Amino acid sequence: MPVPQAADRPAPLPVADPLDAEHPELSSPQPTGTPGSPAMNRRSADRMVGHPAYVLAYDPFTARRRRRPDWLVTLLTRLVAGDALAAAAGTWAAARVAGSLGVDVAPGLPLVLAALWPLVLGLAGSYADRRLGTGPEEYRRVLVGAVSTLAGLAVATAALGLTGMPVPAGTTAGLHLLALAVVPLLTVLTLVLRTVARRSLHRARRDGRMSRRVVVVGREAGLADLATRLRRESEAGWQVIGACIPDPSSATVLPGLGVHVLGGLDHVPAVLDNVRADAVIVTSTSDSGADYVRRLAWQLEGTDIELLVVPGLVEVAPDRLTIRPTQSLPLVQVREPVYRGVRRVAKSVFDRTMAAVLLLLGSPLFLAIAVAVRATSPGPVLYRQRRIGTRGRAFDVLKFRSMVADADAQLGVLATQQRDAGNAVLFKMRDDPRVTPVGRHLRRFSLDELPQLVNVLRGEMSLVGPRPHLPAEMEFYGDAVQRRLLVKPGVTGLWQVSGRSDLSWEESIELDVRYVDNWSLGRDLAILWRTARAVLTSSGAY
């Protein structure tokens, strides 16, 4: 295989602006390490030669693999130790209870479970790097491990019964104890540990720690959107440390993002090696094409550097995507969202049941709020406002009155005086003079919206859904926005847990459409959980 001459190799790039002291390795005079430069080690140079015209023979089995980050090793160690400790403690407690009931259990069972439970979770994929901090997928893997354990216990019990072979005292009782008490207990304890670990990891990532260092590759327009999303969703754990674009001489920094351009498409392997990146993300807007991605994958074999490709379907939930392979072309199928059938009935039953329970349990609180509203401000306790629901049907949304009785009459004057930036459609004012003292406290913790549970019970609203829209907003609706009318509006939703009143009109619309396209009962439960946190912290409320 011929080796290209120096004239065929990529030309050296311009010197990039120095980066901050946090990443001194990125501030070298030649951060991209062009072939022949001192900044580039031999292994990187070997990979660069001839790219992308051809790829050198490369043995992934002899390549030096990148060591896992210290934070990842520490996190995995703590998870394994916590699972082992939970297994030992849970089994010991269950054995003590069984002993008090006269059931003899093998004394070494806690130690056996302390060793086996982490092994089972590992085989179920619970400790995979890519699943850490993901929430639902983490929990699913724990449940897979628990079900697998129960299946194994059932097989072992059946085998002992069929063979009739003698077993040590306490073995059969131990198997029964495991199936009926220990495995369910361990599952709950492990899920609690995962929740605590996930919150700790997310908190660290919001502070800029415990994230994977990633280089993004593609055209500037696509990279700007990608980098913005990764920064906004910091809990996912991707820290963008640089970019590679088709023409690196056109810019040294991505405009408005502070992300430094480290090289061109031909320099990606060397850049990744020099900055010690953990991953590279290639956008679908890249000029490189599928052949480039394939060759880049070849060059990264054996390095433990993850290669990810953005499919251009950023607003589609992962569970709606399915790979449909053909002989030479993998296709991504986007499944149609389901708004009818069993899932819709299940959502309706859940909504009305929960609304009835909350109305019953919260009746003393509702009475206290009603008395406070009536005693501190003349006018009705409840405020009714016309909103648009499913399929364009109008209904009256209910709220505890948090403003003066003639608030609607004052709206026109206030709207001409002050309007929040970025909200040309919805009127929102941080220090709205129409809000009563009691109403300010109600709004802070969203207590004014509690009467909407009556709307849920009537079937006009759902617990989770898009924001209920005003009739005046309909004239601003395009085709995409009309999709919000496919489902019932919600008491809470993605808009509620993503900023509430701090959101612009466009941002709230984007979140509503994203919810409609990807809704599921599982996501509703996750949003309800996040709503509790948003309400308690008064995030975005005024």
Last residue of a domain, one of 298, 314, 330: 314
pLDDT at 165 over 70: no
Tokens of 131: 């699943």
Q: Are residues 241 and 193 in the same domain?
A: no
Residues 531, 526: Cα–Cα separation, whole Å: 9
Establish if 275 belongs to a structural domain: yes
Q: Are residues 52 and 120 in the same domain?
A: no
Average pLDDT over residues 44-54: 37
Q: Are residues 48 and 116 in the same domain?
A: no
Last residue of a domain, one of 187, 206, 225: 206
Q: Are residues 417 and 434 in the same domain?
A: yes
Q: Are residues 455 and 371 in the same domain?
A: yes
Establish if 165 belongs to a structural domain: yes
Residue type, 152: G
The structural domain count of the chain equals 3
Last residue of a domain, one of 206, 225, 245: 206
Task: State residue 226's pLDDT score.
Answer: 86
Q: Are residues 88 and 224 in the same domain?
A: no
- Among the residue ranges 81-95, 161-175, 230-244, 458-472, the one predicted with the least confidence is 161-175
pLDDT at 19 over 80: no
Task: State residue 119's pLDDT score.
Answer: 94
Establish if 245 belongs to a structural domain: yes
Residues 161, 150: Cα–Cα separation, whole Å: 17
Q: Are residues 90 and 10 in the same domain?
A: no
Q: Are residues 180 and 265 in the same domain?
A: no
Establish if 331 belongs to a structural domain: no
Average pLDDT over residues 77-96: 89
Mean pLDDT of the chain: 77
Say what the pTM is: 0.63
Q: Are residues 362 and 381 in the same domain?
A: yes
Residues 426, 414: Cα–Cα separation, whole Å: 13
DSSP 175: H
Q: Are residues 234 and 197 in the same domain?
A: no
CATH of the domain at 18: 3.40.50.1980
3-state secondary structure of 519: coil
Establish if 433 belongs to a structural domain: yes
Q: What is the per-residue DSSP string for 44-89?
A: HHHHHTTTTT------TTTSPPPPPPHHHHHHHHHHHHHHHHHHHH
Q: What is the per-residue DSSP string for 480-501?
A: TGGGGGGS--EEE-HHHHTTGG
Establish if 252 belongs to a structural domain: yes
Q: Are residues 525 and 390 in the same domain?
A: yes
Tell me which residue range forms the domain holding 271: 6-64+211-314
Q: Which of 57-61, 118-122, 126-130 has maximum average pLDDT?
A: 118-122
pLDDT at 469 over 60: yes
